[in-house]
Amino acid sequence: MAVKVLIVEDEESLAIMLQYNLEARGYEVEVAERGDEAEEMIAENRPDIIILDWMLPGVSGIELCRRLRAGRKTRLIPVIMLTAKGEEADKVRGLSTGADDYIVKPFSLPEFMARLKAVLRRIAPERISDVLEIGDVRLDRETRLVKRGGREIRLGPTEYRLLEFLMERPGRVLSREQLLDGVWGRENYIDERTVDVHIGRLRKAMVHGKEKQLIRTVRGAGYAMGKK
Ligand code: CA
């Protein structure tokens, strides 16, 4: 599952450069030019991480960061602030409003990627690693190969995405709605029972003989995989 990045930057050339390079590395990218526009986009489609320019038309980056941290649904989204040289003195203020990191402009692409990965690694390590492992199940994102105890498991594309989505969030109980949004995409109007059908197929494919069932049904809540 691609990591969703929202870039909030009114400097068009910089936004385009970041978008291009992130998309080339498999990230899913959206760009907002204004702070208020970004707020709407975040409410509609929650990003995994936000790259937030300090100086923005509409709502400023610092104000937006403060609002995100105050919001129940947005307070945990990692934020990297971009500041221009000279605004550096403000970085302390930026971090105190809850940004996870800041980068001073101008910066190089390798520097940017390193900082982005460092924040993701700290906050959501499962989202960027090439190999996901839970118990004896191993999913390799590069080769799209799934193995259990060394045995290869063949999955259809939907079951693969479902498994990846669950393994990226070990121990978390995911509702049918969250699974629909994450695996099928929110534009698709699919019945929630479809999730049960595909979970059923996935379970069947993953269990051989006396092997333990790794996907738990949490009554009235949804499904989870991995540590409780
Ligand atoms: Ca700016």
**Above 80 in pLDDT, residue 115?**
yes
| CATH code for the domain in which residue 187 is found | 1.10.10.10
- Give the residue with greater pLDDT, 127 vs 33: 33
- Give the residue with greater pLDDT, 31 vs 189: 31
* pLDDT tens per residue, range 182-214: 888 766 678 888 999 999 999 999 998 888 889
Domain final position from 73, 100, 127? 127
pLDDT at position 94 is 60
pLDDT at position 95 is 66
Ligand 1 center from residue 196 Cα (angstroms): 46
pTM of the model: 0.62
Ligand 1 center from residue 52 Cα (angstroms): 9
Under a CB-based contact definition with an 8 Å cutoff, are residues 89 and 81 in contact? no
Under the banding of pLDDT at 50, 70 and 90, the label for residue 87 is low
Q: How many domains does the chain have?
A: 2
Ligand 1 center from residue 167 Cα (angstroms): 37
Ligand 1 center from residue 10 Cα (angstroms): 5
Give me the mean pLDDT over the 129-133 stretch: 85
Ligand 1 center from residue 55 Cα (angstroms): 4
Ligand 1 center from residue 9 Cα (angstroms): 6
Domain final position from 127, 144, 162? 127
Under a CB-based contact definition with an 8 Å cutoff, are residues 129 and 139 in contact? no
Sign of CA dihedral 91, 95, 97, 102: positive
Ligand 1 center from residue 90 Cα (angstroms): 14
Ligand 1 center from residue 39 Cα (angstroms): 16
| CATH code for the domain in which residue 106 is found | 3.40.50.2300
Ligand 1 center from residue 217 Cα (angstroms): 47
Range of the domain at 153: 131-225
